[in-house]
Amino acid sequence: MDDLKQALLKEIFDYLAAEVLPKEHSGDKLVDLGFNYIEFATKEKKLYKALYLEENLGDKSIQKVSFDYFVKLVQQDPEYKDLPEDKLSSLYTGFWIIVTGLAALTSANIMKPTDKEINVLLTETIKNLTNNDDKLNQTFSGFKFH
């Protein structure tokens, strides 16, 4: 049964990486990733909830796949590829918190941000997390996902 579960998860991860997450919206790959994650949460509510909000999977593979995808994306972008490890960690954590919050609130119909509002939130979050060395960034760089 575990083999079947792992095969299904691989199919889902491949689908996310090939069809859902790489769609272009803004020209900034990280902003696009955020848009696509929020859109996925809104359109595929049950799958989103099962993958990202519940611990029924029994492993942390979705967090690893998400982190690996994020790092690969950052390393391909000249604007972000030379970030020091603490900035990369801070960027991932802060970005993930903002995007997950927007996705959860949007998919639950609690918020209905416009594309423009999402773009501003994501762009300004990324700008803050890559350019500042304030307490927020220092805190984010120390977080570890379980």
Helices (H) and strands (E) in the chain, counts: 7, 0
pTM: 0.86
pLDDT at residue 146, rounded to an integer: 46
What is the share, in percent, of the chain residues with pLDDT greater than 90?
A: 47
- 99-136 pLDDT tens trace: 999 999 999 999 999 999 999 999 999 998 888 777 77
Residue 5: count other Cβ atoms within 10 Å of its Cβ.
Answer: 13
Three-state SS for 21-78 is CCCCCCCCHHHHHHHHHHHHHHHCHHHHHHHHHCCCCCCCHHHHHHHHHHHHHHHHCC
Rounded Cα gap, residues 35 and 119, in angstroms = 8
- 3-30 pLDDT tens trace: 887 788 889 889 999 999 999 989 899 9
